[in-house]
Structure 1
Amino acid sequence: MVFIQQSLPKPPVKHSDVDCLNLNITVPKLASGIGGLSRQKLPVFIWTHGGGFVVGANSWPQYDHAKLVKLAAKNGVPIIGVGINFRLGLSGLLTSEELRQRGYKPNNTLRDQRNAFQWVRQHISGFGGDPDNVTVIGESTGAVSTTLHLYSPEKLFNRAIATGGSFLLVGPFSYETYEGIYQQVLSVLGIDKLEPDERVNQLLSLPLDDVIARLPPSIAFLPAIDGEIVPTRPTYDAVSRQEDQELPGKKWLDGFMIGDSQFDASTLGAIMGHLKTDARKRFTASLKTSLAKNLQAADSVLEAYGFNSPPLASAAEDDEVAFKNYLHFVNDVGYYAATVSFARGWPEHKLLTFAFNEPNPWPGLFTGEATHVLDVVFLFQNYNDKLSPAQKKAAESFGLDFARFIAGQQPWPAYSTAKKNAKVFGPSVQGPEAVAKIISDNESREIGRRTRILEIGKEIGFDALAGAVVRFQIGL
């Protein structure tokens, strides 16, 4: 909960690649009984949590659905919530030719999620839910997963919500990349010298807690391009073109909502602090290398994000400022530009966009900023007693808008080429009431974003900018 900057009591979580495959179902208490079983079947949402594909669980208290389900029912929009678990990290995503030859498929994280979707479709009617009215909500890497499922040629759910992420945020690994990761894992676990069959057996039999403790955070696990669940590497260019046929979900999804927080990239502030040292000089050099074929665009980025301004007298203070400027660049490319790209390329009137601009009220690295995961705080209502009266009302409004979308309603006008509608939530910092507004152009300054990135993206393409983001992170 470090990203939220506020804690809730959390029970200990057991690590298991088998026992984790469960789900929690939250049903409203209606006049006709629990779930209203004798009434019309209720809309259902499935929550797909984030956590960098390495941490997270449906049992985490910030993901408790009870308060949102109660709020929705109280306001005449009864819904059922389902929180799913799925394998993460090594057991969820590690792959190699050695493993695949022995029948161990890649992308278990995504396969587990699809199995959960299928279970809900088959069994949710027994809990009062409508199997033909299901919305999948993903946040952060949960949103990465949710959008990757849109590559399915078959309809997996009815609607989707992606908040604070998409498959444009972190691209999938190639099999070639995973061969290197596999060798790293074997080496760290001390089984790299064994014969192939023996080391695979060791890999599968080692206690999971021990494996997790020994693997360094520098070893990343992401979905793999397998030609099946993940058939290709997503690009901003493909997503933003309505004529592109690469993503079947554009056709079979009944409705899509996507949005981002004003400072989603705050998450990197806590996990990539090593990038601060001499950030101004190193990012400038890295960017000019990445965009060597378009140095004018590189200079536009440096100017727009303050890297061309005179350095501060204090090296430490300058590092802090430059690093935050880099985070702003990451935010605008990885989150805001992704939202805009999906909106531009989605079928007319089938997509809603939003901007979450509520400031984080709690002490921490980014007090006063609309930080990553704060949208989850407002959605599930579990921190309302720690919010100001205005932000509590804002949370209720935010949650109800999600509930209405889950129920098949349209809480604000959809995006179209003629009207690029969006809803802006916050900032609710003055007075006792929540602040929100509907705007007619999500590419204007009204959205509360640095729209200069759209001009630079038009010149060079967002994919080139996203590549520059990654190159700096890996030290290039």
Structure 2
Amino acid sequence: MSAQFFETEPGPDDLAAPVARTTYGDVRGVRAGSVAVWRSIPYAAAPSGTSRFAPPQPPSTWEGVRDCTNFGQIAPQTMGAMVPVDSDLTMGEDCLWLNVWSSRHDNARDRTSNADEPRPVLVWLHGGAYCLGTAAQQIYDGHKLAATGDVVVVGVNYRLGALGFLDLSSLGDDFVPNLGLRDQIAALEWVRDNIAAFGGDPGNVTLFGESSGAGCVTALLTSPRAGGLFHKAIAQSPPATTVFGQERAAVVARRFLELMDLPAARAKELLACPIDRIVEAAGVLLDEIPLKEPGRLAAAPVVDGELLPTYPIDRFQQGRSHRVPLIIGTNKDEASLFRLFRSPIMPVTPDAVNVMLRDVAAGHPEWSPERIAEITSAYPDLAKTRGALAMSTDAAFRMPAHWVADAHAQHSPTWMYRFDYATPMLRAARVGAGHATELPYVFGNFGTLNHDPTFWLGGRKIAMEVSGRMMRRWVAFATHGVPAALDGSKHWPPYRLSARTTLVVDTVDRAVDDPDRELHSVWGEQAVGFS
């Protein structure tokens, strides 16, 4: 990671720049109105060489003031259309850093009356199917969320794909599983130890994420190592049952070695081979597996017996998730975006969905042909694209979120939502409330895509109102533990198994009891997924 260090006294132009003291050294950011911003603060050392497949280690300390005004390297990955990344960002292994947006941060020489009041902290885990994305994406800019809620927002960059979520531990002692999750835990430990210097309250941390980032949230909610590092959680469209066992992980590891043209006896050479070669082989693997086995991913969290003692969904249903308040939900039309981008990550054709069902049934001997028939009967259009999209949405996101909510609500305050809102253009494009379409509403960031079509047919005014309500609810939850919009908006009752009350987020929010009642009755309470 490139960094600038200031050994001398700051000049007049530097005095307005926010400076914070971390346990590793001082860091300088920039001011943007009422918000102070730091980019790419290292929370761990670069995981390269012999550390490439090892747990994160603390960064080296530095003298002077480290310049944290520009983004550092993003995690090595195969770029794809579904996750737009700025062209001026560079990939590299020095990618374990985080961003901080702090409202009303003050240097010691620029102190105000409220400078000593610690503010709630929201820590963001980006999505991208465990193999794509970065905390440097414009859509995750925390400026508006920090300013709206008078909070501190942290965006975490972590290892992805073969370097973060491909379990190679079956190949030898040089490889450790769940490195992406370990990076996230290291970032949360950094927040615990350092966020007070940025105006944040280390005793009031909300962990939130979307898609695979939300899958990490649900996994960490069941990880003993993560206990006490966050005090509330928000999971937006979590693939909560996409967690693999070690046997499955070993099969994928062997295939990865084949693509690297390495025999098992030479697996250690992965520590020294060019990173571009690893990224290229991983790209093939990450596309190959979901095409051959619809519904499966190549890279995902793995039950390792330590960080994840068993499948997270089992831990939830055993009542062993961390006792913290939780918001969890999905989007109405999750699978539509995968159809639009022709992504293999989710099965979106009738044939692919049928293969997925057969594979899931094969991994669950207790599933009888009658059970399969009962589930498929709930999707009368299964032979058409519309039915395939609905089945894929429910299998990957909707039902896993409900299974988590049903279990977690037994011991901790839980709220469920369904994001239904779509602008006229997204409705016309048959995307609707597709996967990830809630992100600009949560962060208040629209227009972060080149030639963004969101408002081509209007709808901006209503979208701004929906966004305002979502931001206020998320901030109220982080601040007080209750997602009230505090503006007279619809009351959002807690989720309880007896009613399964869900907030349907739309032009006008409404609370609906068990809007997915038919799905519950056919899928049942026994959680199923790939192992």
Which TM bucket (shorter chain)? 0.7 to 0.9
Match of 1:221 among 281, 299, 316: 299
1:21 and 2:120 matched: no
Counterpart residue identity of residue 331, structure 1: T
Q: Residue 257 of structure 1 aligns with which residue?
A: 327
Match of 1:42 among 103, 106, 119: 119
Counterpart residue identity of residue 158, structure 2: F
Match of 1:174 among 245, 250, 253: 245
The answer to whether the 8 Å contact 1:94/1:182 transfers is yes
1:422 and 2:506 matched: no
Secondary structure in 2 aligned to 1:105? coil
The answer to whether the 8 Å contact 1:27/1:35 transfers is no
Secondary structure in 2 aligned to 1:260? strand
Q: Residue 128 of structure 1 aligns with which residue?
A: 199
Match of 2:166 among 81, 85, 94: 94
The answer to whether the 8 Å contact 2:104/2:115 transfers is no
The answer to whether the 8 Å contact 2:167/2:177 transfers is yes
Q: Residue 368 of structure 2 aligns with which residue?
A: 294
Between the aligned partners of 1:189 and 1:299, the Cα distance in structure 2 is 41
Counterpart residue identity of residue 527, structure 2: D
- Map Cα deviations across residues 177-198 of structure 1 (whole Å, 9 max, x no partner): 22222222222122227x43xx
For residues 14-413 of structure 1, what are the structure 2 equivalents within 5 Å? 14-17=90-93, 19-29=94-104, 38-72=115-149, 78-97=150-169, 99-102=171-174, 104-153=175-224, 154-168=227-241, 170-171=242-243, 173-192=244-263, 195-196=265-266, 199-201=267-269, 203-215=270-282, 216=284, 217-219=287-289, 220-235=298-313, 239=316, 241=317, 244-245=318-319, 247-249=320-322, 251=323, 253=324, 255-269=325-339, 270-272=342-344, 279=351, 286=358, 294-307=368-381, 322-346=384-408, 347=410, 350-359=413-422, 361-362=424-425, 367-383=430-446, 386=455, 388-410=460-482, 411=484, 412-413=492-493
For residues 393-472 of structure 1, what are the structure 2 equivalents within 5 Å? 393-410=465-482, 411=484, 412-417=492-497, 419-426=499-506, 428=507, 435-439=508-512, 441=513, 443-444=514-515, 449=516, 451-458=517-524, 461-464=525-528, 466=529
Q: Which has the higher contact order (CA 8 A, sep 6+)?
A: 1
| Deviation of the 1:37 alpha carbon | 6.3
Q: 1:100 to 1:248 in 2, by over 3 A?
A: farther
Between the aligned partners of 1:402 and 1:144, the Cα distance in structure 2 is 18
- Map Cα deviations across residues 105-153 of structure 1 (whole Å, 9 max, x no partner): 2111010000000000100000000000000001101111111112233
Secondary structure in 2 aligned to 1:101? coil
The answer to whether the 8 Å contact 1:3/1:372 transfers is no
The answer to whether the 8 Å contact 1:361/1:368 transfers is no
| Deviation of the 1:213 alpha carbon | 2.4
Between the aligned partners of 2:351 and 2:134, the Cα distance in structure 1 is 34
So what's the TM-score if we normalise by structure 2? 0.70
- Map Cα deviations across residues 36-76 of structure 1 (whole Å, 9 max, x no partner): 8623100000000110111110001111111222222xxxx
- Map Cα deviations across residues 330-355 of structure 1 (whole Å, 9 max, x no partner): 22233222232223222356111111
Q: Residue 315 of structure 1 aligns with which residue?
A: none
For this pair of structures, how many residues does the alignment match?
A: 415
Secondary structure in 2 aligned to 1:463? coil
Q: 1:289 to 1:83 in 2, by over 3 A?
A: closer
Secondary structure in 1 aligned to 2:494? coil
Counterpart residue identity of residue 13, structure 1: L
- Map Cα deviations across residues 275-308 of structure 1 (whole Å, 9 max, x no partner): 6676399569948975895333333333321257
The answer to whether the 8 Å contact 2:330/2:397 transfers is yes
Q: 1:284 to 1:295 in 2, by over 3 A?
A: farther
Between the aligned partners of 1:180 and 1:371, the Cα distance in structure 2 is 32
- Map Cα deviations across residues 369-425 of structure 1 (whole Å, 9 max, x no partner): 110001112111110794521111111111111111111241133223455333211
Q: 1:295 to 1:113 in 2, by over 3 A?
A: same
The answer to whether the 8 Å contact 2:125/2:210 transfers is yes
Between the aligned partners of 1:292 and 1:419, the Cα distance in structure 2 is 28
Between the aligned partners of 1:145 and 1:155, the Cα distance in structure 2 is 16
The answer to whether the 8 Å contact 2:165/2:299 transfers is yes
Q: 1:372 to 1:98 in 2, by over 3 A?
A: closer
Q: Could you list the runs of 5+ residues in structure 1 that have no partner in the other structure?
A: 73-77, 309-320, 429-434, 471-476
Counterpart residue identity of residue 437, structure 1: R
Q: Residue 431 of structure 1 aligns with which residue?
A: none
Q: 1:298 to 1:229 in 2, by over 3 A?
A: same
- Percent identical among aligned pairs is 23
Between the aligned partners of 1:47 and 1:334, the Cα distance in structure 2 is 21
Secondary structure in 2 aligned to 1:47? strand
Counterpart residue identity of residue 164, structure 1: S
Q: Residue 59 of structure 2 aligns with which residue?
A: none
The answer to whether the 8 Å contact 1:95/1:105 transfers is yes
The answer to whether the 8 Å contact 1:288/1:298 transfers is no
Secondary structure in 2 aligned to 1:422? strand
So what's the TM-score if we normalise by structure 1? 0.78
Between the aligned partners of 1:257 and 1:278, the Cα distance in structure 2 is 32
Between the aligned partners of 2:276 and 2:114, the Cα distance in structure 1 is 41
Greater Cα shift, 106-115 or 86-95: 86-95
Q: 1:214 to 1:393 in 2, by over 3 A?
A: same
Greater share of helix = 1
Between the aligned partners of 1:180 and 1:287, the Cα distance in structure 2 is 16
Q: 1:36 to 1:53 in 2, by over 3 A?
A: farther
Between the aligned partners of 1:258 and 1:281, the Cα distance in structure 2 is 25
The answer to whether the 8 Å contact 2:222/2:312 transfers is no
Q: 1:257 to 1:34 in 2, by over 3 A?
A: farther
Counterpart residue identity of residue 200, structure 1: K
- Map Cα deviations across residues 72-119 of structure 1 (whole Å, 9 max, x no partner): 2xxxxx1110000111111113333465423x3211101000000000
